[in-house]
A and B are shown apart, each in its own frame.
Chain A
């Protein structure tokens, strides 16, 4: 219900939402003074109670239930659950199993980046408010919602990429073949060739339409200047169109996040983790202290005390009491907010371009978009090498073991950032299950100290033009995080 703006002197309130083109429901309450946002309250108005549903179930059933938290990051949910179950069973997949899991997971993350850029994010630059800009006509033709030629091309490229899901995972969304011991599908030599051909076809889309350059060339860019030079040379490409807009609108100044960026580590392979984990605090790399994670409930419609996810509960407050204003909990690391996502992943991996995008160690609208584009450029070649490394004569899965008792955590990097599942099993049944999703970190409400969540803080200072009821700056900032609200509150 947008637009409920009432003017009281110079302060007015505005409810931005429901947001279209985001996954799930999102509402942002803005307090505006003169021409800028002075406070923002983010609400996730959708609660389903997955954690309560999981309790009492056979632990293996988590593999069927958790993907259904989200129709867009279902594989990430499966991966987190599967890691936790593997730890409980005391097994690790054989090399083929890890490679196949990584390929499936990467395909989903790539698809999410693709859709975010082409369908969710760029459409806002095709709004009438930008009509006077020199790039408007071009953007409108490429990215206007549904009719844009780039939008259609991306949806088609994604459908092709998802042949990977067909071949290795049977079905997407809500894939079943990912298991603690590996994958149930043992591809043969023919499947392997088809996988490679599919990824190659996707590479062709990226090189021809998205970047207008070889992926290796994009992945080798190291500085902001090199990136701008890239945007201004060679033929037209969707990413170059964006880069010119970003410069015109100073998007690197918009929506600054906290100076803490976290990644749980991208893809586990036999000998390494591609996109290594870490915490980047004020630009310096640290290890993550997992014991210091706590979910604060002071401003959530949840009952109970702040707790580590291995112990925390999810008990909704039916009275929806003040000062609560969201179903979302507020996860904090050593009491502080952190931002997660592709930029956090790439920066923690030490990629120079990702680090160059940070401003005083903080992500921003531009950095988040570049982080995703960079990740696409790095991930596609990696996928090709993973497919090549599969040995179809070797097993893809190990025999599972029965789980009687134990506790474990399963970590994964979804497209939108760090996802954790904390599981306790007693007498062969799930006794306790807690999920902390990427957008839970990024879109959390205030905590007990009154500190706003990363998005809430990023919105403070956003400019509001005269008469705007859905301020376009707010749209850019919100969407730069690529929120997934159905994961946020589950």
Chain B
């Protein structure tokens, strides 16, 4: 495990063939929306760049992010990505236990000082000096600060690390706190969702490892390549929304016909995520396709906005005075109105992004 080892070396050592490696490069290019011209570039980068180590730590969480991650659609991608990060530290999957595991963590931090990526699953609870989550006899918040100090960038996996998630729901008994409120001096990439989609996770980490830079982020810190569209924008039930055809209850005729779920609480119109395009469980489906509305699990505060089954909700993250009452009422009155309300909100949204200027994060330099 010399410092000069490349990704390609690691993969070969882990039994990935040259052929599989090249296949991986083209899959990566496709997954990231890059043209075929990028395939040799990716291959060259992987063959020549020293491997970037990843340390994966777990705070207050339910491990759903890891569970999602190991079920990525393409077994090759998962294999390769796992082999890339396997040499370092992950307390759910790694082989070493107890003090060996702790030693592996310390060793990676020391050896790759300033050059490793810290992936955080879960978040630190701050009440009672962090005693609600103890790792190796110390509060997790200490481990997090310690591991973050020499990291080159941090990935906040899932809604816990990015936003707090349901464990931070009122009354937030342990004061579960998202990572960016504790670590303020490092670039943080938020990959929200409860859990995030496997392909989104592998896509983000592959991009960072391959190109040695942070993907382009939106103003809240999410990678634009996966979080720039609402579920609603690409929802296959969207024509029913536009036609004013709604499910009123899970057992009605509209439900059987696959009408729009907006009136049974769907948060698709206000949720930025890739569920309706990438889908879940190897691309088989997503909640709306299984007849249940989106609960907006990748949006900040989704846990404290009133019942998920309430029909109309405020969509205040647009930062404008339009709320769901207006949109919902127009939708109920007529199709044209609904589209108009939508268009208005979308236009405002676009304007907002524009005014916000470039949010591109600086490239990482070693």
Min C-beta distance of A99 to chain B, whole Å = 16
A90 within 8 A of B: no
Interface residues on A, range: 35 or more
Given the known interface contacts A159-B282, A167-B285, A399-B251, the answer about A46 and B60 at a Cβ–Cβ threshold of 8 Å is yes
Q: A162-B282, A166-B280, A183-B291 are in contact. List 16 more A-B contacts (CB 8 A).
A: A2-B101, A3-B99, A18-B97, A20-B92, A46-B60, A47-B174, A56-B170, A72-B63, A155-B71, A155-B78, A159-B71, A174-B64, A174-B297, A183-B290, A399-B251, A470-B97
Q: Check: B348 CB closer than 8 A to any chain A CB.
A: no
Q: Chain A: which residue is nearest B129 at the CB level?
A: A318
Binding stretch for chain B, among A58-66, A202-210, A341-349: A58-66
- Select from chain B the residue with minimum beta-carbon distance to A158: B71
Query: A176 and B292: CB pair below 8 A?
Result: yes
User: Using Cβ atoms and an 8 Å threshold, which residues of chain B touch A27?
Assistant: 134, 137
| Contacting pair A170 B171 (CB below 8 A) | no
Question: Within 8 Å CB of A200, what residues of B?
Answer: none
Flag if A70 contacts B98 (CB, 8 Å): no
Interface residues of A in 315-332 (CB under 8 A from B): 316, 318, 320, 327
Do A25 and B135 have beta carbons less than 8 Å apart?
Answer: yes
> Which residue of A is nearest B166, CB measured?
A68
Residues of B within 8 A of A18 (CB): 91, 97-98, 101, 135-136
CB distance from A48 to the nearest CB of B (A): 4
Contact A71 B282 (CB under 8 A): no
CB pair A184–B173 under 8 Å, yes or no, is: no
Closest B residue to A194 using CB positions: B284
Q: Contact check, B308 vs A1: say whether CB atoms are below 8 A apart.
A: no
Task: Assess whether B63 is in contact with A24, with CB atoms less than 8 Å apart.
Answer: yes
- In the complex with contacts A165-B281, A170-B289, A172-B281, A50-B134 CB distance below 8 A: no
- Given A17-B98, A145-B93, A158-B71, are A48 and B285 neighbors across the interface (CB < 8 Å)? no
Indicate if B132 sits at the interface (CB-CB under 8 A): yes
- A135 interface residue, CB < 8 Å from B? no
Indicate which residue in A60, A69, A156, A399 contacts B308 across the interface (CB closer than 8 Å).
A60
Asked whether any CB of chain B lies closer than 8 Å to the CB of A19, the reply is yes
Q: In the complex, are the beta carbons of A71 and B66 less than 8 A apart?
A: yes
Per-residue A-contact encoding for B159-197, CB less than 8 Å = 1, 0 else:
000000111011111101000000000000000001100
Asked if A351 lies at the interface with its beta carbon under 8 angstroms from chain B, I say no
Q: Write the B36-79 contact mask toward A (1 if CB under 8 angstroms, else 0).
A: 00000000000000000000001011111111101110010011
Is the CB of A163 closer than 8 A to any CB of chain B?
yes
B82 nearest in chain A by CB position: A146
Nearest B residue to A71 via CB reads: B64
In the assembled complex, A378 has its CB within 8 A of some CB on chain B: no
Give the residue of B60, B133, B255, B282 whose beta carbon is less than 8 angstroms from that of A163: B282
Do B250 and A184 touch across chains, with their CB atoms under 8 A apart?
yes
Within 8 A of B (CB), among A150-173: 152, 155-156, 158-160, 162-163, 165-173
Closest to B309 in A: A60
**Chain B binding surface SS class:** loop
B131 within 8 A of A: yes
- The smallest beta-carbon distance between A171 and chain B, in angstroms, is 4
Question: A169 touching B101 by the CB < 8 A rule?
Answer: no
- Does chain A have a CB within 8 A of B347? no
Which of A69, A171, A173 has its CB near the most chain B CB atoms (within 10 A)? Answer: A171
In the complex, the answer to whether A20 meets B86 with C-beta atoms within 8 Å is no
CB contact between A184 and one of B61, B91, B194, B292 (< 8 Å): that residue: B292
Question: Does any Cβ of A come within 8 Å of B346's Cβ?
Answer: no
Q: Is the CB of B98 within 8 A of A181?
A: no
Give the contacting residue for A397; candidates B79, B166, B251; CB below 8 A: B251
Whether B95 sits at the interface, judged by CB under 8 Å, is yes
- Which of these, B101, B102, B137, B287, contacts A177 with CB under 8 Å? B287
Q: How far is the CA of A244 from the CA of B280 in the complex (A)?
A: 39
Q: What is the bound-complex CA distance between A168 and B287, given in angstroms?
A: 10
B234 to chain A, nearest CB (A): 16
B135-164 vs A: 1/0 string, CB under 8 Å? 111100000000000000000000000000
Smallest beta-carbon distance A416→chain B, Å: 14
Task: Tell me the A residues contacting B by CB distance below 8 Å.
Answer: 1-4, 15-21, 23-25, 27, 45-50, 52-53, 56-58, 60-61, 64-65, 68-72, 74, 119, 123, 144-147, 152, 155-156, 158-160, 162-163, 165-174, 176-177, 179, 181-186, 316, 318, 320, 327, 395, 397-400, 469-470, 475, 486
Given A163-B281, A166-B282, CB of A50 within 8 Å of CB of B167: yes
* B286 on interface, CB distance cutoff 8 Å: yes
Verify B133–A46 contact, CB threshold 8 A: yes
CB closest residue in chain A, given B59: A46
Contact indicator A169/B194 (Cβ below 8 Å): no
A478 to chain B, nearest CB (A): 10
As a 0/1 sequence over residues 197 to 213 of chain B, the CB contacts with chain A under 8 angstroms (1 = contact) are 00000000000000000
Are B62 and A65 closer than 8 Å at their CB atoms? no
Q: Most chain-B Cβ atoms within 10 A of its Cβ — which of A18, A183, A316?
A: A18
Whether A185 lies near B290 (C-beta < 8 A) is yes
Expressed in whole angstroms, the Cα–Cα distance for A176 and B292 within the complex equals 6
CA distance A414 to B71 in the complex (A): 21
Q: Which B residues are CB-close (under 8 A) to A166?
A: 279-285
Chain B residues within CB distance 8 Å of chain A:
14-15, 58, 60-68, 70-72, 75, 78-79, 82-83, 86, 91-102, 125, 127-128, 131-138, 165-167, 169-174, 176, 194-195, 249-251, 255-256, 275, 279-293, 295, 297, 303, 307-310
Q: Is the CB of A170 within 8 A of B250?
A: no
CA distance A325 to B249 in the complex (A): 48
Task: Kindly list the 7 A-B residue pairs having the minimum CB-CB distance in the complex, ordered from nearest.
Answer: A2-B98, A166-B284, A71-B64, A170-B290, A49-B173, A145-B95, A2-B99
Could you say which residues of chain B place their CB within 8 Å of the CB of A475?
Answer: 97
B290 touches A72 (CB 8 A): no
24 A-B pairs in the complex with CB atoms less than 8 angstroms apart = A1-B138, A2-B99, A18-B91, A21-B92, A25-B58, A47-B132, A48-B174, A57-B307, A60-B307, A61-B307, A71-B62, A71-B66, A72-B63, A145-B95, A147-B14, A155-B71, A159-B281, A166-B285, A167-B284, A168-B290, A172-B281, A176-B292, A320-B131, A397-B250
**CB-nearest residue of chain B relative to A148?**
B95
Q: Which residue of A lies closest to B293 (CB)?
A: A176
Pairwise interchain contact B169-A399, C-beta atoms closer than 8 A: no
- Say yes or no: B286 contacts A171, CB within 8 Å: yes
Given A24-B63, A48-B132, A52-B171, A185–B280 Cβ distance below 8 Å?
no
- The smallest beta-carbon distance between B325 and chain A, in angstroms, is 19
Chain B hits for A327, CB < 8 A: 132
Contacts of A119 in B (CB 8 A): 93
CA distance A16 to B96 in the complex (A): 12
> Are B95's CB and A146's CB within 8 A?
yes
In the bound complex, do residue B281 and residue A162 qualify as a contact, i.e. CB atoms below 8 Å apart?
A: yes
- A19 proximity list for chain B (CB < 8 A): 97-98
Instruction: List the A side residues contacting B99 at CB < 8 Å.
Output: 1-4, 469-470
Q: Is there an interface contact between A49 and B174, defined as CB atoms closer than 8 Å?
A: yes
